[in-house]
Structures are given as structure tokens and as C-alpha cells.
Amino acid sequence: MTEKSISRYMRTVRRGGISASCLGVQQSGDDPMAAFRGFTSKPASVAAQLVFGGCAFHEEASAMMGGSRWPMMWLQGDSCSGQHVSGFQALLVEGTKVERLKLDGHVVGTRWSDADAEYCLLAGIMPSDITQSRTLQTRGVFERMETVLAGAGMSFLDVVRTWLYLDHLLDWYGEFNAVRTAFFRERGVFDRVVPASTGIGAGNPGGAALLAGALVIRPKHSGVRIEAVPSPLQCPALDYSSSFSRAVELGFPDRRELFISGTASIAPGGESVHRGDVPAQIDLTMRVVEAILASRGMSWSDTSRAIAYFQDIRDAPLLADYCRASGIIEFPVVNAHATVCRDDLLFEIELDAMVS
């Protein structure tokens, strides 16, 4: 595979001797293992990794990277052929001690801290019994996340963002939402900040109904602010029984960080828009995201990380076309093959941004 077949980006934030970097790798060509060769010379720095590609390559790639020394979510889109790996994202943390969190002997989380907060990044949380109903598997995943966090001195009320990848999502998204809403209500999540989230269709090597991850933050002092951010161009997702915030912002003494949930072509009233028209869905979705950024005094140039999900991965060049036409340069995005939460939605994007 030639270097032209692999594109990389790195966004790094340095504070008080600690650096946090998001590495994104996108690849094409005939060698599905190319992206993993020489991935990192510092395994201890990898807080978590999300890989998008055929599950058949999971074991070989893991072995190539030295085994499961960090949390990983391996995801194959519902309609993906499974014959390729499109790329991955990884968060790297250096300059501070990291602690690995385990569940049933597997590494599923990384914990670290700085002067402002304790942080935990979970990835690859799956049910204990994949023969159970999807309802029980979903409930079990939330409870197992809670168990891992308890071991780290945290709780589900400290979760600011989740990633929830459902196998064959369109068959049971309503069922999943009911379980999530019930769990949030029992734990008092609706009385605090409802996490930002991505809930999207992708399978996993374990054959579970879903695979989950979360970003968890426990402030050390009152100078850290966490609040939900509305979307100027869309209604709250809670209005149509989907339990997540459109975005969540963290305010620190020296910076603000914004986590924008998975966003798609949805009108202010909650209905899908531009059915069957991928360029139009990309245009509306990106305008919605841009409006959220602008509402917090941010712009595309403040983006630190993004994942674009396509029902048909062959549509990915359309996002690049949009970015060129809109003057969005050096956009740190990885494209993934996945099913959006409605059968008439063909594109979704999630995004993080930060300003000093």
C-alpha cells in the first residue's frame, strides 16, 4: 500500500506537562493491515482506540499491535462487506500516569487526571451473556459500565458522552431507547446533565447486540463547569424519546471543550429531511453542526476530532466535496461505514471542538 493510500491527522492539546492527542487514520487499497503497522511506539499512551472495518481482521490487527493492552472498539457497519478496514481513531495521553480498568479480565477503560479533573475513557463494554435478549443485553451493558466506573471511584452521573453501537440497529432502536431511558431515569441522569451520544448501527467481533464506550469526567473543583448545549436548528432529542443531549460543553479555567452528538438531517420538528439525497443531507447536517459551534463561539477550525458515518461508504467523497466548497480545510475526520438510526437517513457526523 502506498503512502497516498493512507491519510493521517493529529490534534494535540498540551496543558501543564500533559498532552492529549487524537490520531486519525484513513486508508484505502488492498492491504487491510496497513493502518496498524507502526501504529504506536508507546502502547502505554493509548487511552482507547475505535476501529472501523471487517470483524474478520480484528484478531490479526490486535496481535500486530501487541494484543489488547488498551481499550478498543472494533466496529463493522451493518451493510459493510467486511472485506476492508477503513481506518481508526485513537486518543493518546502522555505526561501523566494512566491506569487501566478491567472487566472480566479484559481492558475496557483508561483513567488519568490533571489539576482540574479525573478522567476515564471506556471502550469495548459488551454484555456478559450474548445469548440473552437484546433488552437484557442493553441493560447489562449500562450496569457493567457502572461497575467499571465504581471501581474507579466514579458513577454514571459523571458520564458526559457515550458511544453506543447497535448490531442491526434498525431492527430494535426503539427497544434500545426504552431501556436507556429507563436506566437514566432510575439513576437520576435526567436530574443532572444528560450525556451527549452517538447511537449508530455497527456489528462487533463478539456478536453482541451492542458495544459501548463513554467519556467520564469528575471535576476536582468548582471552576469546572459541565452543561448541556441545545441545537439552534433542531429540537431536543428528548422530544422524540431519544435520551441524549445535542451537545455537552465542559468549561475549564483555561479552555472550553464541546462534544457534539451524532447529528443527522433532521428538521426542527424532529422529522427526517432530504430522503434519498445524500448531498442535501450532508449540507443540512453540517449547517446544524456549524450552528451549534457558532452558538458557543466556535468554528470548524476549532474541531479536534470528527467521525462521519455513511450508510454507503462510497458516498464519503461527497463530504470532502462539501468541505472544499465550504472552505473547511484540514478537517480532522475519519469516515466509517454504519447505519444511521432511521432508514431514510444516510449520513451522520459527530464532532469535538475546543477553544482556549
- Between these two residues, 241 and 96, which has the higher pLDDT value? 96
Give CA–CA dist 73/211, Å, rounded.
Answer: 7
Residue whose grid cell is 437484546: 134
For residue 41, is it left (φ>0), alpha (ψ between -120 and 50) or beta?
alpha
Indicate whether this model's pTM tops 0.85. yes
Closest CA to 340 of 321, 305, 318, 313: 313
Where along the chain do its domains lie?
3-355
List the alpha helices (DSSP H) in 166-314.
173-187, 278-295
Give CA–CA dist 162/147, Å, rounded.
Answer: 16
List residues bridging with 272 in a β-sheet.
Answer: 266
pLDDT above 70 covers a percentage of the chain that reads 99
Q: At 44, phi and psi to the nearest 5?
A: -65, -15
Residue type (1 letter), 70: W
Give CA–CA dist 354/107, Å, rounded.
Answer: 28
Per-residue model confidence (pLDDT) at position 2: 44
- What is the grid cell recorded at 42? 508507546
Closest CA to 109 of 117, 301, 324, 118: 118
Q: What is the pLDDT of residues 68-79, one digit of tens each?
A: 799 999 999 877
Q: Which CATH architecture has domain 3-355?
A: 2-Layer Sandwich (3.30)
* Section 178-194 average pLDDT: 96
Q: Is the pLDDT of residue 24 over 90?
A: yes
Give, in order, the Cα–Cα distances in Å from 175 to each of 88, 110, 338: 29, 30, 19
Q: What is the pLDDT of residues 29-85, one digit of tens each?
A: 778 888 898 787 788 999 999 999 999 999 999 998 887 799 999 999 877 777 889
CA angle (309, 315, 316) in 5-degree steps? 60
Closest CA to 153 of 111, 123, 190, 115: 111
Q: What is the pLDDT of residues 246-272, one digit of tens each?
A: 999 999 999 999 999 999 999 898 889
Q: Please give the distance of CA 293 from its chain centroid, rounded to a whole number.
A: 18
Check: CB of residue 214 under 8 Å from CB of residue 159. Answer: yes
